[in-house]
Amino acid sequence: MTALKKATGDVVFKFEPFVLHVLCRELQDAQLLHSVAIDSGFRNSGITVGRGGKITMAVRSTHSLEVPLSHKGRLMVSEEYIEFLVHVANQKMEENI
């Protein structure tokens, strides 16, 4: 809170979810892993095939959080709300684990 009160610009509270990149030998392997990831709740997962044929499967969660806290140095939320955001982010981290 002390650092936040001293901020002169915009401050954003941001939590980024779990991401796992897996290099796959065959497209079928990536498709199988993709199906498992989606069925397990990792809805933002996807397959990328690079120019050289490299097949990458990304397992991504949807547990992101991005909330503005201050604008031009002016705190826009209460300390209680920031404590709530930290609690929510910690829950999301537990879900990642």
Q: How far apart are CA 34 and CA 44, in angstroms?
A: 10
Backbone angles phi, psi at 2, to 5 degrees: -60, -45
**Residue 41: per-residue pLDDT:** 87
pTM of the shown model: 0.70
Residue 80 domain boundaries: 1-16+63-96
Does residue 34 share a domain with residue 3? no
Number of domains in the chain: 2
Q: How far apart are CA 58 and CA 37, in angstroms?
A: 9
Span 26-78, pLDDT tens digits: 999 999 999 999 998 888 999 999 999 999 999 998 888 999 999 999 999 99
Does residue 27 share a domain with residue 12? no
Does residue 55 share a domain with residue 22? yes
Question: What does DSSP say about strands 19-24 and 74-75: parallel, antiparallel, or unpaired?
Answer: unpaired
